[in-house]
Every structure is written in structure tokens, then in C-alpha cells.
Structure 1
Amino acid sequence: MASSTNTMASGTETEGPLQAAAVKCSPGLSQWLARHRTSIALSSYQAGQLFLVGRFADGTISLYRRDFGRAMGLWSEPGRLFLGSSLKIWRFENVLGPDERANHQFDALYVPRTAHVTGEVDIHEMVVEADGRLVFAATRYSCLATLSATHSLKPVWKPSFVSQLTGDDRCHLNGVGLENGFVSYVTACGRGDAAEGWRAGRRGGGVLIRLEDGSIIAEGFSMPHSPRVHDGALYLLDSGRGYLVRVDPATGRREDVAFCPGFLRGLAIHDGYALATLSLPRNIVFEGLPLQEELEARNETPRCGLAIIHLATGRIEEWIWFDTHIREMFDVAVIPGIACPMAAPQQGAELANLITFENGQACPDRLGRR
């Protein structure tokens, strides 16, 4: 691939660059991305899209989107992205070298290379452990799972209060958190062991579970999400209240860090900041949740988008708000070292004609064997 090339078209009506009128960004977002040398990936299962947020050379914000039905859990590692969707887990690879550019301006081009078919297991969050094993929340089946070469999934853990792996979403197991490179914490919206039993505890039945011994180390949350360990502290989203919360895993003691005006799902922590996605209510208001009461008390309007929160102060310093048909977000991942990413589509002529060589254009005239 040449150092600067127009390998991809700008996209269709629903893909490619998103028009500026459809989204509002905080005035300091571009400087924040530059200062922290990162870009951001977002997913929306309601819109069925993957978004890549970056910064052009002139400082303007780039927001690139691709269609992936029911886009949910995200994981980023150097040169690679994973995305959970309605029936598949996608693996994307960045095909650009350090000095290469796509369309003269994008310094990463993520191309879908594998699509592992899981079926409708309702994948929520996912992580890659230090040994390379991908682990995801198979929420419909109330368990953590990994990939299987022959089957839809390989279950690796379930809460002790779930008696069997049936596809009826008993506890709404959703969040997966690493510590020292391995899955250590999960969140669930309840301790149900019947079909959708978690719904009875939407207001305060949520739990934080430690995998090492299966113990519930904190409870009383409203639809919790996204446990994350950072600098020795454990954070999660108390989504039904609208708060980013810090939890002491030894005692279960928790403290509110920041309020966000929307239903929280998806959390990434980078360089002293928490990045959390927000969603609008599905039915005008957040019925039956403390979040609605908090919004009314603060006289705030719910938002859909991304909040970037300074952990030291609890203040939302930067943000992205969507003013389009996009009403619900799911996950967020930071992409350090990349300024302006884009992605190839999952099918069609653009993907069919995007051919890259691992060793450049060089091809030996003899078959080398080891």
C-alpha cells in the first residue's frame, strides 16, 4: 500500500464520515485527543454502527462509522480491534504501516479479518486476557464464555446462583473487568435464576462479583455495568442511577465520582480520565429508575454520546453528543497512538477491492520451508 492512497471511498449514506451537523463536540475535544495521543472507538447497538473518533491534521474532529448490526462489546489492543455484534465477534486488523495513510489523512485502516459466528447469545462486554484468550459476557446464557473452534461458544464461568445455562437472561450478566491481565470482576443486574429474573431488581438488585471466589463484594446497584481496575481502584457504572462509582474491593464501600445525564454503558479509563457512553431513554423517561429522579432534581436533559470525566475532580471535561436518530450507545475503547482511524465495511465492493500484502509487494521466486 502506498504511503498515501485513496483506497476507500468516503462511504454510503449510512457509512463513512458523519456530518458535523449530526453531532456536537466539546470545544476542547480535539486538544484532548492530541494531548493524550489517542483516538476512540464507540459502538451503538440501536443504530447498528461502529464509530471511530479521531483528529485530522488541521485539528478538526473525524467521526467515521461503519454498519455492524447490534454493535456492542469493544476491545482494543495495538493494531487490532474486536467487536461483538448480533451473531458474530469480529476481529479487525490495522493494515497501515507507521508512515502510511489511507485517503491521505487516516493513519489507521481497520479491516475485518475474521467473523466468528456465535449465534444470538447477546454478547455484551469482552476482553482479551494476558494469555490471548478472548472472554465475553454471553448475557442471554448468564455466563462468561470464550471462542470455540467447533461450537457457538465455550462457557468458562457462571455465577453460583445461576443453576443452568438456558437462553433466558436470568441475571443479565453484562460487565467484564480485568485485573493483572485476567478476568477478575463481573457485574450483573440481579441474582435471578428464572427467565429474566433480574428485572425485578432493576432499581437496586445489581451486584459486583469477584471471580476468584465467586463472592458478591458489593450490591445494591441499579443495573450496574463495566467494572474496571485502574491504579489500584475499582470503578463501575451504576447505570440506573447515572453515576460513575469507585468501589473498595476489600470492603465493598463505594463512593460516587461523577453524575452523567444518561443511561451509562461502556467504560474505558485512560491517563487519569474515564470515558463513558450515555444513552437516551427508550420510552420518553427512565421509568422506575433513580436516574429519572436525579435528572428531574438537577433539571437536566438526558444525552446520548460520550462523556470524558477527569477522575481527580469528577468533572465532565469533554463530550460528544449525538443529535440524530442515534439514541443509544453501548461501549467505548481508547486507541492509543492513533490520531485518525477509519474502518473498512463488512462486505461489498470496497472490501472486495481492498487487497493488501503482508510483506509489501515482495514475493520470493522459491518456496521457502522451515
Structure 2
Amino acid sequence: MTLSLPIRRLGACGIEVPAVGIGCWGIGGPAENLGLPMGWASGSDESAAQEGLETAFALGARLFDTADVYGLGRSERLLGWLVRQVPRTELVLVSKVGYFVGTASHGYEPGHMRRQLEQTLDNLGTDHLDVYFLHHTDFGAASEWLDGAVEQMRSFRDAGLIRAIGMRGPHRHALERLSTPRHSRADKVEQFRDLFHRVRPDVLAVRDNLLSPVARASGVYGLAAEHGVGVLVNKPLAQGLLTGVYSPSAPRDFPPGDHRRRKRWFTAEALAIIGSGLAEVRALIGNDPDELLRYALWHCLDSYQHAAVLAGFTSPWQVRRNLKALGQCPDREMLDRVRRIMADVQRRLDAGGEVFRDEATGAETT
């Protein structure tokens, strides 16, 4: 059964996609990069990943998002399995470059970018990407790699290897969060706005969800609208935290290679705060777990008409649940009430930042 998902146009680049796309970070499995855990221990089952991808396509998903660093190529290769099963013209494929450095001087060294794109195309079994993202905003000291990276992306687009250039919204490089004290960090919104005008992207990738509404708070949607730029929203379910599947009474012990080991919102203390907020939301909208998903997804989609969300998965049932839960946009007054409840939860989490510290490094992470 194919679902009737709303169609979104990603701004002036003209790419059209169903409103809910499939994030493929999770299926990369556990991995480490830059000395940090950055994968998902729960995504190591290859057959489940393939069934999930197949299920997504059968239900009407056509947008699939991956990156060279997800599982250090494993996610791309798994997605490539689907690409070889279905018509390429029915897919919108997204990948990213920058975090997987290998032996290069920098992730945005132009020669490295060319080699990574070639490998990505081989992994996916295609001759082009629909959107190719600059995966982070660290272009080296004094932005020494920025001009070369932008020129390289434009040459990819001119050659037909990619259809659109993407860049991250307000974002901190993973190592900056560990190495730079909070009070010494640059203003990431100001940095983003400067880079936006230098990169001139076709599509933005932003983190936006009821727990962390970065895009709404920073004016990203308004900037995108002003310049005709599409938006792909990642982490709309806050990596599962908005689904109610995590229990503060039984916090999970994530194994090596799982990025949640270093995320403070997965600690028992933080989960208790999140759980209290979700209980308040359920008292308002009811106990159907799919209603939580519907409100979370529409929080993002209702913010900008040229935005689509990327819902990740590690199992087929998550794909079915995420796609089927979308339904119609909730009453906007109710949606705003839910937003206010969860905004208060975020304030409480931020106020507890000194409590939720990474046990391994002592650095605050989110």
C-alpha cells in the first residue's frame, strides 16, 4: 500500500519530494570517527536495514539521506542495494562530505572531495546525487578551505554529478563541542549566516524538533524563504527521545561506537525531565503513541512550505510507524500548546547542563 504523502518542493532548485524522507544514519551501525563514537549500535542488522528500505519505498518514500561517514560507507552501500532494485528516476538521493577525512589534510581538501564523491557514487550505484551537502561548517583556520570547497561543489553541479548544493544550518563541529568551553564558542547562528552568503546553497539541512527548535529560533526558515532555498529537517523525533521509548528508570548502556554514549539528553536525569514533558503532552493530545509522532513531524513541516523531514530508522517497524503517523496537520492552536510545553522542557534541560556531563571527557555535549 502506497501512502498519500504531501509533496514538498525544495525551493528554487525544483526538486520535489514526499514530505517525509528516510534518514539512513542509523543503518550505518556502530562506528568511530575523529576519535568519537558516531554510529548506532542498534543499526547493525543488514537484513533489517534492507527490509526497512524496501518497506519505505513500497509505502511511498522517495527521499533517502545518507553520508560518507555513516558507518564509514556502510550506510551508502546498504542504500545502494535499494537503488539497484528500483528505478533511479523515482529516487531523490542525498549524501554528504566533510566529516570522513581519512588521510587527507582536511575533509574539504578539493582532491579529497572529488575522491569521496566518486566513492559515494560507487557505493550508491548511481551516476549522480540529487543533493550533496557540506556536512559541517569547520573550514579550517581563517576558513582556508572554504573557497576551494565551494568551487569544488559548484564544479560537481556544473558537471551534472550533483543537482543541488547543500550546507548545514547553525551547527558546531563535533570536536568543538568537546574542546571549546561553552563561553568561548563563536556564535553559531552568526557564523551560519556568513557562510550562507558565501556558499549560496540550494538546500539547507537543519536540526529542528520539539526539544530543540534551532531552525525556528534562529530564523533559518525566513532566510531560506527569502532566498528560495529548500530545507531538509533532520532529527525531527530527537533521535527517538520524542517517541517515549526511553525510560529514566532504565537508561540504556550504549556500547562503543554508539554516539548516544556522549549525549547528555540520554542520561537518566535528562530522560526524567523529558518524560515529564511528554506526560504533559499526552494529557493534552491523548495516549496514542502515533499522535506524539504526528505532532513532532508537523512541528517541522508546518514551519516552512519548502521543507521535508528526514526520519531515521534501524528497523522496518520504525519506517512503517513514522510514515503512517504523519496524517493531517494537527490543529495549530493545539500544536502551539505542545510547542510551549516542550520549550519549557528544553529550558529545564539547558538549565541542568552542568549536571549532564559526558562521563568520559567531562565535556558538555548535546
Tell me which interval the TM-score lies in, with the shorter structure as reference length: 0.3 to 0.5
The TM-score normalised by the length of structure 2 is 0.33
Structure ID, larger Rg: 1
The TM-score normalised by the length of structure 1 is 0.33
Higher strand share: 1
Higher helix share: 2
